[in-house]
Structure 1
Amino acid sequence: MSHSSSWSSKIGFVLAAAGSAIGLGAIWKFPYTAGTNGGAIFVLLFVIFTIIVALPVQLAEFYIGRTGGKNAIDSFKTLRPGSLWPWVGRIGVAACFILLSFYSVVGGWVLNYVVHSFTGEIAPNVDFGALFEKTISNPTSSILYQGLFMLITIWVVKGGISDGIEKANRYLMPALFILFIVLAIRSLTLPGAMEGVSFLLKPDWSKIKSETMLTALGQAFFALSIGVSAMITYASYLGKDQDMFRSGNIIMWMNLLVSLLAGLVIFPAVFALGATPSQGPGLIFVVLPAVFMKIPSGNYLFAVFMMLVVFATLTSAFSMLETVIAATIRQDERKRSRHTWVIGIAIFIVGIPSALSFGVWSDVLIFNKSIFDLWDYIITAIIMPLCALSISIFTGWIQDRQSVLTNAGMGSTVPKTLLYLWLGALRYIAPIAIIVVFINSLQII
């Protein structure tokens, strides 16, 4: 193992894995999903599901990656040679490829908005709904910015683990937290902001529906980026002396904190300015700029917020690309640069139809969904739950119980009881929860 193919420090892994988990899921998807699913009741369910379902599965991915010590496919081969289990890794790697192809489209919009902020297109009295429509439906700029986003991602990942991904996350993640706290304080001091806080934090029990529960569970998976082998890949660069339970716990709380901060930046401002929280995916592109324009030096603050979203989007993109690269270079770091370029460009090309599905190809529908929405549905509603289910069964039932406890507990100071609780959650709670969500998601089609 050369030094560039492992984490140089404990905090390096935590920041990178948190960066993987904290992406558009926390900043873009969480606020609008909470907004359209009854606010606080959704938040409460999301926190519960994150702790009892998503965290155990994330830790199982850490166990597989660290014990296998290789990429997502080969780690399964090491732990279960000659079985079909490596297919879980293969599907996860393929999912990362597709996920990044449409994720980079949204990353492109975010980059475009940073540019909008500096060119004066984000200004008071602008119709932000029209600006957003124009931004996502323009084929040239959509593809251009998607390409730029992929270029940055390729550039960092080709630098390797400690020199590329870890270095980038070391600066991006702390910046994200500091700026978020500043923006949340600003948002909370607006008149009428408390209505937004109670929407986010005071549960209205009448809003509890099976659909809300499903969406919250889906969001919990999405939030910790489980089920796509990214965490297996990152954990494969971990030493046996690292406490994976403590790391997993920190990553989960960082992610919950950012989700809540995003809610505290967005909802108080939305309520204070009389907008509706249930605006869907356009929330940060349409509602937020309007909100910022009512604040002194709002266009600069908005530019800062969009830079934050860029950071968060990129740190997730790094993990998706790394998952695919690790599976193709198979520990041979000499191949890294070339593979990263070739695969990165391939992902960009596959993403072009998604970039066009809000403009020139908006009438191309498959199963009543645009190309972008179809990929999103396949990955988040089908592949993520199935892979998460496989990982919980593999770790909870297929692997030898004692060896799982021993390997997972290495370098860890957690009490034995917690280890048993974790395994219990993996064996019983996680699979049942995942199956329920999965069956329901199939009925929504």
Structure 2
Amino acid sequence: MVAIADTCVALLAGLAIFPIIFANGMDPTAGPGLIFMSLPLAFQQMPFGTAFGVLFFAMVSIAALTSAISMIEATVAYLNEKHGISRMKAAIGSGAVLLVISLLAMLSFNLLSGWTPMGKNFFDWLDYLTSRWMMPLGGIFTVLLAGYALRSEIMRDELALPPLGYALWLFMVRYVCPVLILMVFLHALGWLGFDPLARWYWIAGVIGVLTIAGELLRPRVVPALAGR
């Protein structure tokens, strides 16, 4: 339910933001900075828009802070469990690094706006690396971990799906999702050379071949990935 609600909120936000962008002739591919360019225009046209704008961006700040806390928890847990660093020191160190990165991203719009290596400021590079590289690669590694490395008993207990639903989920995670994520990744980087939607039958063929090969090699691949 949380994932569904989050997706619905994101869709509603897009429906609210993009009409403003097109109405004011903005670039819809400007990235996350659109929220700071489009919504102020909308608040200007509203009664008591300044007050609503202050409240909105205050809530955005709270959402960013709580998201940052959840993001550094993985780093804090790793430093604490693997390297014996206390949670307080790990949290302070991780928070300090995150603060420096956040300040550099914020200053990219003013004091550091003139620093644009290879045509991108720090914020643009951060957005490029996270959205074009880290998120797709993280998605690929996640589905490979869930589909191959983790034991089926663990995933079956966690998902609590019926046998048919679990089999469908396993097929999607092992063979469909990695191919589709890889296609999106390569297409976004301009390395694919063709439109994936126009060559959907190629993708279906690749998925079919990988399914057959994967099922034949799975008795060897799964223990190797799981370290067994």
Q: Same fold (TM over 0.5)?
A: yes
Partner of 1:417: 164
Deviation at 1:420, TM superposition (A): 1.1
Residue 286 (structure 1) aligned with residue 37 (structure 2): yes
* Aligned mates of 2:174, 2:14 — CA distance in 1: 33
1:343 and 2:94 equivalent? yes
Q: Distance in 2 between matches of 1:333 and 1:298?
A: 50
How far is the alpha carbon of 1:334 from its aligned partner? 8.5
In the other structure, the counterpart of 2:217 is: none
Give, in angstroms, the shift of residue 267 of structure 1.
Answer: 4.6
Within the candidate set 151, 166, 175, 1:428 is matched to 175
Over residues 39-75 of structure 1, what are the superposed CA-to-partner deviations in whole Å (9 max), with x where a residue is unaligned?
xxxxxxxxxxxxxxxxxxxxxxxxxxxxxxxxxxxxx
Structure 1 residue aligned with 2:222: none
**Aligned to 2:126, which of 356, 372, 375?**
375
Aligned residues: 189
1:275 equivalent in alignment to 2:24? yes
Q: 1:437 aligns with which of 166, 169, 184?
A: 184
Structure 1 CA distance, aligned partners of 2:46 and 2:173? Answer: 47
- Residue 146 of structure 2 corresponds to which residue in structure 1? 395
- Asked which structure has the greater RCO (Cα within 8 Å, sep 6+), the reply is 1
Q: Could you tell me which residue of structure 1 aligns to residue 80 of structure 2? A: 329
Task: State the Cα distance separating 1:413 from its structure 2 match.
Answer: 4.1
- The code of the aligned residue for 2:69 comes to F
Q: Distance in 2 between matches of 1:395 and 1:286?
A: 39
Q: How far does the alpha carbon of each residue in 1:380-429 deviate from its partner, in whole angstroms, 9 at most, with x for none?
A: 21222223212222332344xxx32x212226542221111111111111
Is residue 2:8 matched to residue 1:257? yes
Ranges in structure 2 where 5+ consecutive residues have no aligned partner: 192-228
Deviations 1:13-54 (A, max 9, x none): xxxxxxxxxxxxxxxxxxxxxxxxxxxxxxxxxxxxxxxxxx
Please give the residue correspondences for 1:114-129 in structure 2 after superposition, counting only pairs within 5 Å: none
The answer to whether the 8 A contact 2:106-2:123 is kept is yes
Q: 1:274 to 1:350 in 2, by over 3 A?
A: closer
Distance 1:361 1:342, change over 3 A: same
User: TM-score scaled to structure 1, two decimals?
Assistant: 0.38
| Distance across 2 between alignment mates of 1:287 and 1:425 | 37
Rounded Cα–Cα distance in structure 2 between residues aligned with 1:262 and 1:320: 22
Contact 1:329 1:339 (C-alpha < 8 Å) held by counterparts:
yes
Q: Kindly tell me: are residues 346 and 282 of structure 1, through their superposed partners in 2, closer, same or farther at Cα, counting changes over 3 Å?
A: closer
TM norm structure 2? 0.69
* Aligned-partner Cα distance in 2 for 1:304–1:415: 45
Is contact 2:43–2:53 with CA below 8 Å preserved after alignment?
yes
Q: Please give the secondary structure, in 1, of the residue aligned with 2:118.
A: coil
Aligned to 2:195: none
Matches within 5 A, 1:18-97: none
1:307 corresponds in structure 2 to 58
Residues 1:365 and 2:100 are matched in the alignment: no
Q: Would the alpha carbon gap of residues 439 and 267 (structure 1) be closer, same or farther in structure 2, given more than 3 Å must change?
A: closer
Deviation at 1:299, TM superposition (A): 1.9
What displacement does 1:325 show?
0.9
**2:136/2:185 contact within 8 Å kept:** yes
The sequence identity of aligned pairs, in percent, is 30
Report matched runs for 1:185-224 at 5 Å.
none
Name the SS for the 1:423 alignment partner: helix
Letter in 2 for 1:437: V
Distance 1:277 1:364 in 2: 23
Change (3 A) 1:321 1:300: same
Task: Say whether the 8 Å CA contact 1:366–1:374 is kept in structure 2.
Answer: no
The correspondence of residues 120-139 of structure 1 with structure 2, limited to 5 A, is none
**Whole-Å Cα distance in 2 between the matches of residues 394 and 413 of structure 1?**
18
Q: What amino acid sits opposite 2:87 in the alignment?
A: R
How far is the alpha carbon of 1:439 from its aligned partner? 1.9
